[in-house]
């Protein structure tokens, strides 16, 4: 994957999760279906899986928008979809101390905390917009395959991601100014 050309705004859609932990594979399954869709040319889709540290470093390449897709336990009914805007560092701060780095257990908040640390150390800028398309899990036990509730939410998650990247493309269009 190449970094965006200077002056070109790009969107990275990243599916996060471990396919060996049931519904944790939601993000991976959702992005697996995205290449079948017509996406704007400035959108790259990656299956990050459990490579959160890799994703944090990849984001230093100058992405304008990041759309993370992952399970998000917020207490709702299994299969409930959430759209969370984590564009401001205060929106994604969960603790005063950064979480310990574990390359196999990098949750989106840990990835974003690492990104903030890397940006501060390198002078790079994080993506202008960071959005999370999350799904309430039913089961995160060892095993391959999504629960019926989460599997049923994947098509709507795909539509949500498509809508988001198309909206971002319109906002970044040379004929329109961002709000």
pLDDT digits (tens, 9 = 90+) for 28-84: 999 999 988 889 988 999 998 887 777 777 777 778 898 999 999 999 999 999 999
List domains and CATH numbers for the chain: 11-172 (3.40.50.1450)
Beta-carbon contacts of 124 under 8 Å, excluding residues fewer than 6 positions away, are 60, 62, 118
Least confident of 1-10, 76-85, 167-176: 1-10
> Is residue 133 pLDDT above 60, yes or no?
yes
- Please identify which residue in the block is written with the tokens 């969960």: 94
Burial 13-52, CB ≥16 within 10 A → b, else e: bbbbbbbebbbbbbbbbbbbebeeeebeebbbbbbbbbbb
> Is residue 142 pLDDT above 90, yes or no?
yes
Token couple for 43:
């959108």
Among 43, 12, 10, 50, which residue's Cα sits nearest to residue 28? 50
- pTM, two decimals, is 0.79
pLDDT band at 96; cut points 50, 70, 90: very low
């Amino acid at each position: 994957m190449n970094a965006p050309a200077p002056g070109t705004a790009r969107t990275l859609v990243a599916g996060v999760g471990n396919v060996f932990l049931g519904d944790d594979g939601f993000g991976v399954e959702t992005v697996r279906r995205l290449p079948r869709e017509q996406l704007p040319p400035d959108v790259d889709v990656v299956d990050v899986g459990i490579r959160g540290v890799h994703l944090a470093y990849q984001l230093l390449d100058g992405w304008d928008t990041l759309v993370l897709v992952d399970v998000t336990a917020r207490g709702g009914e299994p299969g409930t979809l959430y759209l969370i805007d984590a564009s401001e560092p205060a929106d994604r701060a969960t603790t005063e101390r950064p979480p310990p780095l574990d390359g196999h257990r990098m949750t989106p908040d840990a990835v974003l905390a690492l990104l903030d640390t890397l940006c501060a150390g390198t002078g790079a800028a994080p993506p202008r917009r960071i959005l999370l398309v999350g799904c309430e899990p039913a089961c995160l036990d060892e095993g391959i395959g999504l629960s019926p509730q989460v599997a049923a939410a994947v098509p709507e998650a795909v539509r949500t991601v498509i809508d988001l990247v198309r909206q971002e493309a319109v906002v970044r269009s040379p004929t329109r100014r961002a709000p």
